[in-house]
Amino acid sequence: MRIPMARLLLVGVLTGCAQSSWAGLQFQTEHYRVGIEIIAEGLSHPWSIAFLPEDEQLVTERDGRLRLIQQGRLHPDPVAGVPQVAAVGQGGLLDVVLHPEFEQNRWVYLSYSDQTNEGLTTRVMRARFQDHALQDAELLFEALPRTSGGRHFGGRMVFDPAGFLYLSVGDRGEMEKAQQGLDHAGSIIRLHDDGRIPEDNPFTGDSSVLDEIYTLGNRNPQGMALHPQTGEVWSNEHGPRGGDEINRIQAGLNYGWPKVTQGVNYSGTRITEHSDLPGMEPPLLDWTPSIAPSGMLFYTGDEFPGWRGQILNGALRDRLISRVSITGQADAYQLQEEERMLQGFAQRIRDIRQSPEGEIWLLTDQNPGQVVRLRRIDN
């Protein structure tokens, strides 16, 4: 089925792929005309954004800086107290999320890549955000064992309604790790907010799987979001050449990588004969060819009411937003890609978030990169 593409409506002059080409532009989707507003620019590969009270936002730069936007203006000085990160390959300062009770405790959580003589890994820390600084820092988790590769750090985080913290850890470019239960790579991790391991994690007490692991067989999840009705964690995941996925994350399941995939090696050779196997959880949606999905959200706002309950995925390789509808429920969900938006701007979209006001915010994976807001333009 042909996926409809959003149409660009020029306001002013479009100057190729230059950063200034975003400013003053509109585009037409299946339902809405949408305007593009640049909130902040000049950032180095912005990776994630979190919405604070009083119209403020925290933005991570992959090079290792945490930035604050106040009332639409980028603070000139980075936030102090950020840990040293290893900005190696795809690594660096990655996700930023707020504790569910942030207004009371001021806890901010960061995921990032770290390097020692033993290699690289994905870490999670938390600290209190006060006086434009991170204070009382605590290291909560690091994926082990370390490895030398600079790929597939994962790093996406989300809190569920019960207050558990979920973290994606990629396979680190070594696909077999995703099926090795004594290696955190290629999994979804579940923790208490202070880093303790929940007693009801699915593999607690199983000597063949690390207690922090919630799911196995995940190649490199780059987006995670909560289903607005069930509160369940869903993720999108990079395949190799083909085989990008959307998955419903369920305790103890194995999502198959690399024993099961729709994709092939970048060289074109086969990874496996199998697109499904007993005991391996199939994806709810598969993108082949790949779009390289990034951040994702379930839209619940009022700005774009026709998209409520649908998933919006950013994309790196195809530089677009993929809008996906959901029908059915529980074990009978059916997903359908309905529309591809923003093709033609030629900028990698690293993250996509919904603001408390129901607007859609994007981060462009560029240097210099931008924070962009999308707003409906009424006829």
pLDDT for 269-279, tens place per residue?
A: 999 999 999 99
Q: Which of 261, 313, 306, 249 is nearest to 288 (CA)?
A: 261
Answer yes or no: is pLDDT of 5 > 60: no
* Residue 22 pLDDT: 65
* Residue 3 pLDDT: 55
* Residue 85 pLDDT: 98
Beta strands (DSSP E) in 239-310 are 244-248, 285-287, 293-298
Q: Where residue 373 falls among pLDDT bands split at 50, 70, 90?
A: very high
- Which pair of structure tokens corresponds to residue 10? 């020029």
Cβ atoms of 190 and 233 within 8 Å: the answer is no
More confident residue, 154 or 275: 154
Q: Where residue 153 falls among pLDDT bands split at 50, 70, 90?
A: very high
173-223: per-residue pLDDT in tens? 999 999 999 999 999 999 999 999 999 999 999 999 999 999 999 999 999
> Active-site residue 75, yes or no?
no
Element (H, E) at 360: strand 360-364
Residue with tokens 């579940």: 190
Q: Which of 82, 74, 47 is nearest to 61 (CA)?
A: 47
Answer yes or no: is pLDDT of 145 > 80: yes
- Which pair of structure tokens corresponds to residue 49? 């954004």
- Which pair of structure tokens corresponds to residue 126? 């938390």
User: How high is the mean pLDDT of the chain?
Assistant: 93
Indicate which residue of 45, 152, 184, 238 is catalytic.
Answer: 152
Residues in a beta bridge with 191: 165
**Residue 214 φ/ψ region, left for φ over 0, alpha for ψ in the -120 to 50 degree band, beta for the rest:** alpha
Tell me what the mean pLDDT of segment 253-268 comes to.
95
48-68: per-residue pLDDT in tens? 999 999 899 999 999 999 999
